[in-house]
Amino acid sequence: DYDGRSFVDGGLGGGIALDIAKQDGYQKFFVVLTREKGYRKSPLKFKHAIRAYYRNYPKVAQAMLNRHVIYNKTLDE
């Protein structure tokens, strides 16, 4: 919490932030991957626990549960 507001880390996005750069008109990217070749992010386990823990922040829970989809889609681009 800061100044009465809650914030989360930007890692809840896809982890590879190309979408905003593309929206800004950039077309070429240099991405340094830190995982082994062929790595794919897996869905999180304990989905019910994540939803329960973040019950007051359903969008945070949904972002966490969808993170693997966005990450893997970005790798495919």
The structure's pTM equals 0.73
pLDDT of 52 over the 90 cut: yes
Query: Higher confidence at residue 2 or residue 1?
Result: 2
Cα(29)–Cα(53) distance, integer angstroms: 36
User: How many whole angstroms from its chain centre is CA 10?
Assistant: 7
Q: What is the pLDDT of residues 7-44, one digit of tens each?
A: 777 677 667 778 888 899 999 988 888 999 999 999 99
Q: Which candidate, 10, 13, 18, 20, places its Cα nearest to that of 68?
A: 13
Residue 21's pLDDT is 86
DSSP assigned state of 65? H
Report whether 44 contacts 62 (CB < 8 A).
no
Show me where the domains of the chain are located: 10-76
Share of the chain above pLDDT 70, in %: 96
